[in-house]
Amino acid sequence: MNDNDTDTGINTEGEQDAIRQARLWRDNGWTASVIKNEDDDGWAVAMTPDGQVEPALVGPWTMGRDKKNPKPLDTSAFNTLVKTASEFVRRHEQQLHASLHREIEIDHAGARVTVALDIEPDEENPTATLRAMDASGDELGHARVSPAFKLTRASAAAWADAGFSAHAVR
């Protein structure tokens, strides 16, 4: 143990120290924990990003040669798990962004207009904003709408036809 090590695995600078054990491996911002699979007799590996309580990804883990215990983690396996878990988190973030931000381009008054719906998630009071921008990025109008507002070409065109009035989309 060096001067920065503690029982928690966090050094005095707040960074997590690397751990390289057969069933627990922590490095590069991730922790891999080999756990008993609750659904059967096998094993699973849980990949948890540093600072998170819940794993970002849980998947099956290989049995060892004795067919009872898990195969021990190693550098190669851990690096593959980090890559897979990072890609999974990135895809999830992209899907979340896509569900909270939508854009449609329409033709209005002989010009191309982008209508965007941005949803701010909140468990108690989610909000949403509808914005219209011209080709140069200048705002033509904005309105607060329900987070359940359906942005379609028809709804965007109707809003444009109403002069991008906040009252036209309620």
Q: Are residues 119 and 68 in the same domain?
A: no
Look at residue 129 and tell me if it is in a domain.
yes
Domains of the chain: total = 2
Q: Are residues 162 and 113 in the same domain?
A: yes
Domain range spanning residue 140?
A: 101-169
Look at residue 115 and tell me if it is in a domain.
yes
The residue-averaged pLDDT of 126-154 equals 95
d(CA 63, CA 42): 7
**Token representation of residue 10:** 């966090």
pLDDT at 101: 96
Look at residue 13 and tell me if it is in a domain.
no
CB 62 within 8 A of CB 68: no
d(CA 135, CA 46): 46
Look at residue 64 and tell me if it is in a domain.
yes
Q: Are residues 113 and 165 in the same domain?
A: yes
**Token representation of residue 34:** 């080999």
Look at residue 57 and tell me if it is in a domain.
yes
CB 89 within 8 A of CB 51: no
Q: Are residues 105 and 165 in the same domain?
A: yes
Summarize pLDDT for 28-46 with one digit per residue, the tens: 999 999 999 877 778 999 9
Pairing of strands 43-49, 57-61: antiparallel
More confident residue, 18 or 7: 18
Summarize pLDDT for 50-109 with one digit per residue, the tens: 999 999 999 999 998 998 899 999 999 999 999 999 999 999 999 999 999 999 999 999
pLDDT at 15: 55
pLDDT at 37: 84
Which of 38, 18, 20, 36 shows the shortest CA–CA distance to 28? 18
With cut-offs at 50, 70 and 90, classify the pLDDT of residue 14: very low
